[in-house]
Amino acid sequence: MKGQISFELLVTVGVVLAFTIPVLFLMFSMTSVGYEDTAKAQADASARTLADTMNSVYSQGKDAQRSLLLNVPATTENISVVGSEVIVRIKTNSGSFEAVAPTIAKVKGGAQSVGKRSGLFKIIVTNTADGVALSG
């Protein structure tokens, strides 16, 4: 009798696991897709915010300066300003995603990079004689 109860318990646990594990995988994959969409939207917003701040400082003239708190996703690979574009590159499951925002500001040296940062951090945007410079 004890052998039959043990066998029935093993079968019951096996059936429960057979239905539970696929549901958990599905739940985790759906959560990952939602996180990627949020990260892409946050990267777009960060690129637009930095570009708008650069445009504002550039239009105010030489020696204008503004501090900016920028919040970028944890999967950020690089933040750079090349030519007339602000680029925030993030890593996704399908490869790299670049959030790009145009700017009218002349960039000091033609290109600048803030580097690999993530989370909330401070950037100082300054208009110099050579163009807009980023630091911080």
pLDDT tens, 49-82?
999 999 999 999 889 999 999 988 888 999 999 9
- Provide the domain limits for residue 34: 2-135
Count of helix runs (H) and strand runs (E) in the chain: 1, 7
The residue type found at 35 is Y
pLDDT digits (tens, 9 = 90+) for 82-91: 988 999 999 9
Interatomic CA distance for residues 103 and 6, integer angstroms: 70
Total domains in the chain come to 1
pTM of the model: 0.76
